[in-house]
Amino acid sequence: MGALPNNETGIIPDQPASAGFDLRTLAVPPSRKRTQSLMWLIGWGIILFPWLILPLIYLFGGPSESASLSEAFDHEATLLAIAVFTLLHTAAMLVLLNFVWHLRIYLGRKLK
């Protein structure tokens, strides 16, 4: 067997690879407010995006004035589907953000 090969990477093949994750990196102190968190800023941006797209589709995504009635109904159905998606997206994102935020606060209390 002998000595280990001299390689540039410094990897020793006899040691198993491991990746560690420290939960303390996610933890926040319980006194911290949501307005002080980058997570909530990004989350509100993700929530706001469909609300900005919805009026743009309503104003500029419609059929032309000479379009048939069936095309107008198709556009309204599409607009309704986008509005329902926007509402469900908002609710789901708020639930997810609240869950992650409370988990981070819980970790902040327990991992002091």
What DSSP letter does each residue of the chain carry, written as one string?
--SPP--SS---TTSPP-----GGGT---TT--GGG-HHHHHHHHHHHHHHHHHHHHHHHSSPPTT--HHHHHHHHHHHHHHHHHHHHHHHHHHHHHHHHHHHHHHHHHHT-
Q: What is the pLDDT of residue 71?
A: 80
Is this model's pTM higher than 0.75 or not?
Answer: no
Q: What is the pLDDT of residue 72?
A: 79
Q: What is the pLDDT of residue 9?
A: 67
Q: What is the pLDDT of residue 23?
A: 77
Regions of the chain where pLDDT drops below 70: 1-18, 64, 66-67
